[in-house]
């Protein structure tokens, strides 16, 4: 592997830390107060699995750069093609994850994550049909490693609404270039991947 290739991947890993920690999301509407779901009897099967893609690039203010600074992130992630491997959430086909939060970020890591996320779940594909409920998600405070910042954010736990008490995990890769991070700074990033609730 050439030095150029390593340099190109490094900012992507940093971005994931930055967006993940910074991907602390605020509720766009009150979370549902449904009682927590019981833990799945078969832990090998996930409760819900969806593909995900940012509706528009997640934005950072100020830009994420090599030097540490407090950064605010905002964005919306669409959850599509949702299936329920263990059959407990067959009524959910899609969702929207709303993100707004802040953290001390650089191109390689993020600390002091503050905020939460909200997912609005729908009974139909492409965010159609009726609203099944809204889940509040608390991100992992310490963050985790991964290829994109969203990986860290997705290591969170649903605290209220459908599937409360269960963990949300996922993997995401950038759909836009992250190479500017070590130069003029990274002001936005597009992401795609998968999200699982189990």
Stated pTM of the model: 0.75
Per the prediction, the chain carries an average pLDDT of: 76
Q: What is the mean pLDDT of residues 123-140?
A: 92
In terms of residues, how long is the chain? Answer: 198
The CA distance from 64 to 76, in Å, is 18
Residue pair 64/182 in contact (Cβ under 8 Å)? The answer is no
Q: Which residue has the higher pLDDT, 71 or 22?
A: 71
Res 85 pLDDT > 90: yes
CB atoms within 10 A of CB 169: 18
Q: Give the pLDDT band (50/70/90) at residue 89.
A: very high
Rg over alpha carbons for the chain, rounded to the nearest Å, is 16
Residue 30's SS3 state is coil
What pLDDT score does 44 carry?
Answer: 59
pLDDT tens sequence across 29-76: 233 323 334 333 334 589 999 999 999 888 889 998 888 888 888 889
What pLDDT score does 125 carry?
Answer: 97
Residue 62: is the preceding peptide bond cis (ω within 30°)? yes
């Amino acid at each position: 592997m050439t030095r150029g290739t390593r340099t190109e991947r490094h900012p992507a890993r940093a971005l994931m830390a930055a967006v993940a920690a910074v991907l602390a999301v605020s509720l766009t509407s009150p979370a549902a107060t449904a009682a927590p779901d019981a833990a799945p009897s078969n832990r090998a099967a996930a409760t819900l699995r969806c593909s995900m893609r940012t509706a528009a690039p997640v934005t950072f203010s100020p830009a994420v750069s090599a030097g540490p600074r407090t950064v605010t992130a905002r964005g919306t992630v669409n959850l599509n093609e949702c299936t329920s491997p263990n059959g407990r959430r067959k009524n959910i086909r899609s969702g929207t994850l709303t993100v707004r939060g802040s953290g001390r970020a650089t191109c390689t890591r993020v600390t002091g994550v503050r905020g939460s996320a909200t997912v609005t779940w729908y009974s139909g594909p492409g965010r159609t049909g009726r609203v099944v409920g809204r889940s509040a998600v608390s991100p992992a405070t310490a963050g985790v490693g991964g290829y994109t910042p969203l990986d860290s954010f997705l290591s969170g736990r649903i605290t209220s609404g459908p599937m409360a008490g269960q963990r949300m995990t996922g993997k995401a890769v950038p759909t836009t270039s992250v190479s500017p991070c070590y130069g003029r700074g990274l002001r936005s990033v597009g992401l795609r991947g998968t999200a699982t609730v189990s």
